[in-house]
Amino acid sequence: MTLVHIVLFKFRPEITEEHKQRFVTELKQLKSLPCVKSGRLLVGGPSVTDPIERSKGFQIALVSYHENQAALAEYQASKEHHDVTSTYMFPYKEDLVRFDFEVDEEDEYMCEFPVLGS
């Protein structure tokens, strides 16, 4: 089974682009956690949605893959995740949306990733 974790981040208006970029850099480091399936964690932004209003002001998105709910819970409980979110996000956020879902069995083949670095 694969569990997909999606988070959209919106920072308060006074938060600098430098701070947001540092947040992105730190988030990307979380892909090395063993609870992230095959190191699959993507961070992106800004939105290129047209028209931009459909992005509802969200500035950064994260998508990560995990073997199951236990692996996602391990990811969320990790010191590394806590450090990134408590240092660069929670004190500065305006809004956050999180959506997690289990991949249907018939779609699981799309989540079979080759081993990275081979």
Domains in the chain (CATH in brackets) are 3-102 (3.30.70.100)
**Average confidence (pLDDT) over 40-64:** 96
Residue-level pLDDT at 117: 56
Q: pTM score, two decimals?
A: 0.92
Q: How far is residue 39's CA from residue 48's CA, in Å, rounded to a whole number?
A: 25
Under DSSP, the state recorded for 14 is T
Q: What is the pLDDT of residue 86?
A: 97
Residues in a beta bridge with 94: none
pLDDT tens by residue, 64-117: 999 999 999 999 999 999 999 999 999 999 999 999 999 999 999 998 866 655
Please give the span between the terminal C-alpha atoms of the chain, in angstroms, as a whole number: 23
